[in-house]
Amino acid sequence: MIRKALPLLAVLFLVNVYAQAPLAEQEVIADGRAAGSDLKARDEAVQRALRAAIEKGVGTLVDSETMSRNFKLFDDRIYSEVKGYIRTYDVVADNQGEGGIYRIKVKAVVALGALRKDIQALNIIKNQKKNPRIMVMGIARIENAQVDSAVKIQDVQTGLEMRLAELNFPLVNKEATQVANEKELQDAARCAALGRKFDAEVVITYEAICALQEASDAYGIKVFAMNANINARAISTDNARILCADHASGVARGPGMLPTAQKALGETALKLGDSLANKLVEQWRGEVFNTADVKVIINNINNEGRMAVMDWLKQQRGVTGVHERIYANNSMELDVTVEGSVWSDFDRVLNQCPAPKLTITTRTPNRIDCAVR
C-alpha cells in the first residue's frame, strides 16, 4: 500500500503547532524573601517563592511584552492564586532567617492549565473543604401551560442534582428539598437556616421560567420552541454568605408545549450544573490555596479579654487579618482571615489562646462559637 506524503506546508503547520503548544507542567527554581526570622516570616518567604515560580511558568507561555501589558490580569487571576497552580514543591534552600531576612528557594512544578476542569484536582479541593454537602431547592414555572408545581420543579431539580452527582458532590436527602417558597428563596439567611436544618453546608437555590418562543406547523404537526431561563446561587449555610451566582438559558423544540418545556428546563439545568460546579470549585480553590474567612463568636468576654484576644490572634501563624464586627453585652464577633493551610484546624489555634482561655462550643466549616472559660 502506497501512502501519500503530507504536503510540505501541512508538515510545517503541524510542527509549528506542536512547537507552540503550552507545557502542561513546568519545573522551575524560584526565590522568596521576607523580613524577619520567625516562622511567620518563613511562611511569607515560601509564599513569595511560589508566586515567583508561577511568574516563571507564565513566562514560558507568553512573551515579556504580553506579560507587561496584561500584568493586572495576571496579578488578579494567576499570581494571586499561588498554590492553586503549584502541583508540588520542595524547599531546596533555607537560610533560617539569618540576618533578619528569611530567604527561601523552592523547586516547584507549575501547572498553568484550568485546574477546575480537572476532576482529580476538583476532588482534591472538595476533600480539603471537607466535602461539603449540597442541598438544591427552588421554584419553576412554565408560562402558558397549566402544570402542577411539583412537576415543574422536578425537571430543574433533577437536572441540577444529576450533574452535581456526576461530579461527586454529596447531596442531601431529596425529600428535604421541597421546603422553600418564592419569598424564602430571596432571603439568603432563611435559605442558610433551611440548609442547616437538613445538615447541608451549601444550599443551591434556583428560580426557573420557561416561555413559548415560537410555534409553527411542520407537515401538519404543531411544533413548539420553548425558551428556558434559570438563575441560581450557592449559599454557605454557616454564615449565609453567597459563594457564587450563575445563569443559564436554552431552547428546545418539539411537538407539545409541556414536554418541550420540560425538556428545555432539564437540558438547561444540566448546563447550569456544570457552570455552577466550576464556580463553586473556583471559590473553594481560592480558600484552600490562599485565604478563607472564618467567623468567630466569643461569649462571656470582657473588654480587656476582647483586646487581648485580638492582639494575640494577629500574631498567630496563618492569620492574615482580624476584623471586629461587633462587641456588645460581653459578646464579640470577629471575621478572621486565615491561610487555607490552617483553615481546617483553626479551632485548635483558638484553643491555644493563653488568656483569656477559650472553650469551643460550636464548629462549622466557616464559623466557630466559643466562650471564655
| Distance (Å, whole) CA 170 – CA 56 | 37
**Is 178 in contact with 158 (CB distance < 8 Å)?**
no
Inside any domain, residue 120: no
Looking at per-residue confidence, does 306 or 220 come out higher?
306
Residues 147 and 277 in one domain: yes
Q: Is the pLDDT of residue 13 over 50?
A: no
What's the pLDDT band for 93 if we cut at 50, 70, 90? very high
Q: Mean of the pLDDT values across residues 361-373?
A: 92
Q: Mean of the pLDDT values across residues 277-288?
A: 81
Strand segments, DSSP code E, in 14-133 are 26-35, 86-94, 101-110
The CATH number assigned to the domain holding 86 equals: 3.30.1660.40
Share of the chain above pLDDT 70, in %: 77
From 266, 288, 310, give the residue that closes a domain.
Answer: 288
Grid cell locating 229: 431561563
Q: Which residues contact 352 (CB under 8 A, 6 or more apart)?
A: none
Residue 5 DSSP symbol? P
| Residue span of the structural domain in which 99 resides | 8-113
| Distance (Å, whole) CA 174 – CA 4 | 60
* Count of CA atoms in the C-beta half-sphere (13 A) of 43: 14
Inside any domain, residue 28: yes
What's the pLDDT band for 79 if we cut at 50, 70, 90? low
| Distance (Å, whole) CA 27 – CA 313 | 36
**Is 297 in contact with 332 (CB distance < 8 Å)?**
yes
> How many domains is the chain built from?
3
Residues 145 and 90 in one domain: no
Phi, psi for residue 48 in degrees, rounded to 5:
-70, -35
Inside any domain, residue 1: no
Residues 144 and 50 in one domain: no
pLDDT at 21: 43
pTM to 2 decimal places: 0.64
Residues 219 and 355 in one domain: no
Residues 157 and 282 in one domain: yes
Residues 272 and 134 in one domain: yes
